């Protein structure tokens, strides 16, 4: 869906909801359920919990819809609100994760052609993100969620871009230290292209 | 990739893994469950706003009483400081002022009790109790 069309639809639905038409909120949920569930998933890596947290974010959005001042786009407001909800939820009940030092390092280069081993090694790196200290974890999560867009990640977190860049660099440094052989393992794959960007998150 | 990020080859490996996350599709009941919660929320009566107008006299009274208490405490403190002599033992002054704190303790107990009774009565009238 083109971003402009989504923005227009969001605006129309918000106006209808504010006019008292509860059913109009369904359009918002329909359009944003995927991004919000995926964002929540990256925060906790637990599917059931991700859906619960995304639902809570929608409910907060419903309650606070009148508070959207339309200075930023609806998606920016929604993502910022969702990030707040996820952060609070995870402070109350932290995601089950292990310390960064205890995250298993991926298997050696000998198994690089083994699809299962590769998947496991990638999962280990993704889980290691959850083991990062909170101040580095969130920039890493949101940077990759926003398809490596620092500006979008900083808007979601409500932090200056410079701060996000610094924290992101530190987060990646910690990951590199934890997985020193990552580059050798993934080198054959680096020649291939990165996955295409998701339109909905632009 | 933004040009100002200056990625290293190690970063490229991390980027490759973390950017290639598979997309999760919300479960089929997610939309319906969310809308059900929204409808529940919408059908709930709005929270009763705090009756500021009705509470205003009480607040003013409480502020006045507290202010008066503070003023009296400062005045009593100043006068006792004036009476206190650091040269001579002041046993008599101590004896005279021994019962003064008891009055304040009694007042400190009575005020919350009255406040509690008042709030119970208010809540009872509103049908909350």
User: Is there a single domain that holds both residue B92 and residue B108?
Assistant: no
Instruction: Tell me whether A51 touches chain B (CB under 8 Å).
Output: yes
Q: Which comes out higher in pLDDT, residue B2 or B29? A: B29
Q: Is B57 in the same domain as B89?
A: yes
Q: B91-107 b/e with 16+ CB inside 10 Å = b?
A: eeeeeeeeeeeeeeeee
Residue B67 and residue B93 in one domain: yes
Judgement on whether residues B88 and B67 belong to the same structural domain of the protein: yes
pLDDT grade, residue A97 (50/70/90)? low
Check residue A199 and give its pLDDT: 37
Label residue A55 by pLDDT band (50, 70, 90). very high
Distance from C-alpha of A80 to C-alpha of A77, rounded to nearest angstrom: 5
Summarised one tens digit per residue, pLDDT across range B3-19 is: 445 555 567 888 888 88
Burial class (CB in 10 A: 0-12, 13-18, 19+), A198: middle
Give SS3 for A114: coil
pLDDT score for A197: 41
B87 plus B104 within the same structural domain = no
Q: CA of B19: which chain A residue's CA is closest?
A: A144
In B, which residues are within 8 Å of A186 by CB distance? Answer: 13, 16-17
Handedness of CA A50, A85, A3, B28 (dihedral sign): positive
When pLDDT is cut at 50, 70 and 90, the band that residue A123 belongs to is confident
ipTM of the complex: 0.76
pLDDT value for B22? 82
- Buried b or exposed e, range B13-36, using 16+ CB within 10 angstroms: bbbbbbbeeeebebeeebeebbbe
Question: Cα–Cα distance between B91 and A139 in angstroms, integer?
Answer: 68
Asked if B74 and B112 sit in the same domain, the reply is no
Indicate the average pLDDT of chain A: 82
Residue B107 lies in a domain: yes
With a cut of 80, say whether residue A202 has pLDDT above it.
no
**Predicted confidence (pLDDT) per residue in A11-28, tens digit:** 999 999 999 999 999 999
The per-residue pLDDT for B2 is 45
Helix (H) or strand (E) holding A67: none
Of A117-131, A154-168, B46-60, B78-92, the range with the lowest mean pLDDT is B78-92
Q: Say what the alpha-carbon torsion angle A194, A195, A196, A201 is, to the nearest 10 degrees.
A: -110
Domain A3-92 falls in which CATH fold?
Rna Polymerase Sigma Factor; Chain: A (1.10.1740)
Is the pLDDT confidence value at B35 over 50?
yes
Q: Where are the domains of chain A?
A: 3-92, 100-201
* Of the partner residues A50, A63, A182, the one whose CB lies closest to the CB of residue B14: A182
Contact criterion met (CB below 8 Å) for A103 and A128: yes
B4 touches A109 (CB < 8 A) = no
CB spacing of A125 vs B39 below 8 angstroms: no
**pLDDT of A75 above 50:** yes
For A135, the enclosing helix (H) or strand (E) is helix A134-145
Question: Which residues on A lie below 8 Å from B32 (Cβ)?
Answer: none
pLDDT at A188: 52
Its domain, for residue B115, covers 99-129
Residue B17 lies in a domain: no
Contact between B38 and A58 (Cβ < 8 Å): yes
CA distance to partner chain B, nearest, from residue A91 (Å): 23
3-state SS, B86-101, equals CCCCCHHHHHHHCCHH
Instruction: Say what the pLDDT of residue B31 is.
Output: 96
Give dist(CA B81, CA B99) in Å, integer: 17
């Amino acid at each position: 869906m083109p971003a402009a069309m989504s923005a227009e639809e969001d605006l129309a639905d918000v106006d209808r909801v504010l006019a008292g038409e509860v059913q109009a909120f369904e359009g918002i949920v329909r359009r944003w359920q995927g991004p919000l569930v995926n964002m929540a998933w990256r925060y906790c890596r637990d599917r059931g919990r991700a859906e619960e947290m995304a639902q809570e974010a929608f409910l907060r959005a419903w309650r606070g819809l009148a508070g959207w001042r339309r200075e930023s786009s609806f998606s920016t407001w929604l993502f910022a609100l969702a990030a707040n909800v996820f952060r609070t939820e995870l402070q109350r009940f932290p995601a089950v994760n292990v310390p960064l030092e205890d995250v298993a390092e991926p298997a050696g280069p000998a198994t690089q052609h083994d699809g299962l081993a590769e998947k496991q090694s990638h999962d280990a790196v993704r889980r290691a993100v959850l083991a990062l200290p909170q101040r580095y974890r969130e920039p890493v999560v949101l940077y990759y969620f926003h398809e490596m867009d620092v500006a979008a990640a900083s808007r979601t977190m409500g932090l200056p871009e410079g701060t996000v860049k610094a924290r992101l660099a530190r987060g990646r440094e910690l990951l590199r230290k934890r997985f020193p052989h990552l580059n050798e393992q993934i080198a054959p794959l680096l020649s291939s292209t990165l996955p295409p960007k998701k339109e909905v998150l632009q | 990739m933004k040009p100002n990020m200056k990625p290293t080859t190690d970063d490229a490996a991390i980027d490759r893994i973390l950017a290639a996350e598979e997309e999760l599709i919300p479960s089929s009941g997610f939309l319906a469950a969310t809308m059900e919660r929204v409808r529940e929320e919408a059908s709930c009566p709005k929270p009763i706003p705090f009756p500021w107008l009705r509470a205003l006299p009480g607040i003013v009274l409480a502020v006045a009483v507290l202010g008066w208490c503070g003023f009296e405490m400062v005045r009593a403190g100043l006068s006792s400081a004036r009476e206190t002599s650091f040269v001579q033992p002041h046993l008599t002054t101590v004896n005279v002022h021994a019962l003064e704190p008891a009055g304040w303790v009694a007042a400190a107990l009575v005020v919350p009790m009255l406040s509690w009774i008042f709030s119970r009565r208010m809540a009872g009238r509103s049908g909350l109790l």
